[in-house]
Structure 1
Amino acid sequence: MSTDFTVQEQRRLLRIAFGACIGFTISKVMNWPYGVFFTVYPMLLLGMLPKFDSLVAFQFLGSVTITGVEIYLLNIFFSESPLLMTMGVFAVFAVHFRFMAVSSHFMMWASGLISLSVLLHFSSYPGTSLSDMMMATFLATLISVCSAACLYWIIPEKEPVPMPPKQQLSAPQINHRMLMGACLATISFVVFQIFDLKDSLSAQVATVLVLFPMTYQGTLTSAFKRAKGVALGCALGITVQIMMYDLIQYLPLVVLVMFMTVMFAAKLHLIERSGSGMGFGALTTLGILFGQYLQPNADMFYSGLYRLSSVVGALCVLMIVAYYLDGFLNKFAATQNT
């Protein structure tokens, strides 16, 4: 891992930190629910890709539209039957992973996959308003795009930033990646539903993010880094609560501390230069802790430890299933990852 920090990465670091704080501050000032969306979405938009332009903005906005349609159709046609709902969820996940493997619009299908997984799971519980969650998702997406555009105007790039090269995959490799991602994401959805794990947002998100490489080796590496990142993010969150104690009620102080901790995690993410690595895991964990659990009457110590244990447990189970699924798919010529 190179420790050289370029001028471009310094500018990107500031944009990630300011973007996350802008979304967090707006949600708290407006007293909007689901503050986690407003905190994490700017991290995804500004942290997943090294550049921002009209095409990236269109993909990010398009993802929430596609997700809304998918959620609506699944609930209309399959909500009364768990079996049909599971089959429908698998089909939708398969579409996302296939387009992630073959399409140039990776951001649209990847960010939509995260939103879809979270909304499908949490909207199924009684007392949760799907319309409220969808509105929060739409507002968070819109604010993330607008703040990103402003930040790229205020802190512009000095030279063009190349996008990562796209892999050339054979038909069996595409099938392998699609089925690996769709099967594992569906299994994650079913397990979280059966065991009523509605307080495990970090674990839910982690089991989706580690699937983005869409191969067993890539997922294994991503899961290991993700677990370390969640541990670091939880440690930073717990440290923040201990240091601030009852000062958490003062929003300007919370935003200042959040800015510093996000800067630390984002710098680690950019130095790694490995996509969803340890730094990105710490970054999104901080977004979840600040956006959902950092409140005057909340115990972030318990929340942090629970996040860590649930993420490690979920990823261990996911990797075991991924190992056997990868071996099974490689037995067939049409789904070999070679």
Structure 2
Amino acid sequence: MSTEQSAGSELTSSEQRRLLRIALGSSAGFFVCKVMNWPYGVFFTVFPMLLLGMLPVFNSLIAWQFVMGTVVNVLELYILHRFFMPYPLAMTLATFFIFTVHFYFMAKGKHYLLWASGLVTLSALLHFGSYPGAGIGDMMVATMLASVTAVASAAILYWLIPETGTPPAPPEHTVTFTQIRHRTLLGASLATLSFVVFQMLDLRDSLSAQVATILVLFPLTFQGSLTSAVKRAKGVSIGCALAILVQITMYDLISHLTLVVLALFLTVMLTARLHLIERAGSGMGFGALTTIGILFGQYMQPDADILYSSLYRFSSVVVALTLLMLCAYALHRFLNHFAATRDTTV
């Protein structure tokens, strides 16, 4: 058996190159953000994880979708904030409409990366931008800078660490109209519910939990989301444990950027390897990987207590995902009562 065909706990040569790209891309985004003193470092750290971790290839079409997804998000945020923010009911309905558009194209399989990556970004932007005092202009600029930085670093890394083989073709995407309606309504309703609950309870410090409630909806089916939620919770616990270990190990050295970047690189290598070994898309490893990105990008600072942040992140994610899955089960059963929105896919 060739190296490219090996399985189990060993990475193929292609996956080893992909592992290096994920770690270097995330570290580079984090480093550039800190050196330039740009806000919202979470985008600079997580965007390369999404771009390099979700897909095994990179080309001009993928780059275009990723950047255009961010452009769409900026426009969506501006419209929501400019016209709907003062009116809670109108804001909720407008948010539901926008989520519906995203999930509709995801369910159809049309430019999936554009609408899926945009969904994560939009959720984070709404989370940050809906509270008083949020710098919407700074947020839009930082998001665009993070997107361009992620695409540029991906292009450079694919040039420095090229692929030697041909990646497998993606599976054919065939769904019926009733499945598209079911998955669109299921995803949009749950994403909107997540947004509303986080606003009503003023959970402005629960970015990990809000992002988790969006990522687990990517399978577009109840059973797929349930499996993803369980793996996500396990991944968050691993990511939080690693972040706490880094905080304890570095102690008062946390102010040295070079050491923090090195620590990020090593922890991303560990979690990205778990993600690649799973070969399961958004599984436990990807949950650990993005948790590291959120904790480092948003909370790893000399005056921050990442121990409390990590423990709070884990508990909030578990509670949020448990409640979300209960609502998903009820809505899934409700939609299956009608022939026009029935989806028996597990």
SS at 1:80 equivalent: coil
Q: Deviations over 1:66-97 (max 9, x none)?
A: 11111222223322211111011001000000
8 A Cα contact 2:127 2:207, kept in partner: no
> 1:2 offset after TM fit, Å?
2.6
Instruction: Note the residue ranges of structure 2 that are not aligned, 5 or more in a row.
Output: 1-6
In the alignment, which of 295, 306, 310 is matched to residue 300 of structure 1? 306
Query: Could you say which residue in structure 1 is the equivalent of 2:200?
Result: 194
Identify the residue that residue 3 of structure 2 maps to in structure 1.
Answer: none
Contact 2:208–2:313 under 8 Å retained in 1: yes
Residue 59 (structure 2) pairs with residue 87 (structure 1)? no
Q: Is the 8 A contact 1:9 1:270 kept in 2?
A: yes
2:171 to 143, 162, 165: 165
In structure 2, how many angstroms separate the alpha carbons of the residues matched to 1:70 and 1:298?
Answer: 32
Q: How does 1:224-303 map to 2 (within 5 A)?
A: 224-303=230-309
Q: Give 1:191 shift.
A: 0.1
Matching residue of 1:24: 30
- 1:333 corresponding residue in structure 2: 339
Q: For residue 296 of structure 1, report the CA deviation from its aligned partner.
A: 1.1
Aligned pair partner of 1:181 in 182, 187, 194? 187
Q: For the residues of structure 2 that align with 1:5 and 1:104, how far apart are their CA atoms?
A: 30
CA RMSD of aligned residues (A): 1.0
Distance in 2 between residues matched to 1:262 and 1:242, nearest whole Å: 17
Aligned to 1:56: 62
Q: CA deviation at 1:166?
A: 3.2
Shift of 1:162: 2.5
- Name the residue aligned to 2:210: 204
Amino acid aligned to 1:264: L
TM-score by length of 2: 0.96
Describe the superposition over 1:166-218 as per-residue Cα deviations: whole angstroms up to 9, x where unpaired. Answer: 32000110111100100000000000000000000100100000000111100
Q: Distance in 2 between matches of 1:262 and 1:121?
A: 25
Amino acid at match of 2:338: F
Of 100, 106, 123 in structure 1, the residue corresponding to residue 106 of structure 2 is: 100
User: 1:34 aligned to 2:40?
Assistant: yes
Matched, 1:65 2:71: yes
Q: Which residue is 2:324 aligned to?
A: 318
Q: TM-score, normalised by structure 1?
A: 0.98
Asked if the contact 2:109–2:173 (Cα under 8 Å) also holds between the matched residues in 1, the reply is no
User: How far did residue 26 of structure 1 move?
Assistant: 0.4
Tell me the equivalent position of 1:109. 115
8 Å contact from structure 1 (residues 51, 163) kept in 2? no
Post-superposition CA distance 1:122-181 (Å, at most 9, x none): 211111111111111100000000000000000000012124213200011011110010
**Greater CA deviation, 255-264 or 180-189?**
255-264
* AA of the residue aligned to 2:151: V
Contact 1:50 1:163 (C-alpha < 8 Å) held by counterparts: no
Q: CA deviation at 1:254?
A: 1.0
Give the aligned partner of residue 78 of structure 1: 84
Matched AA of 2:311: L
Q: Which runs of 5+ in 1 are unaligned?
A: none
What is the deviation of 1:291?
Answer: 0.6
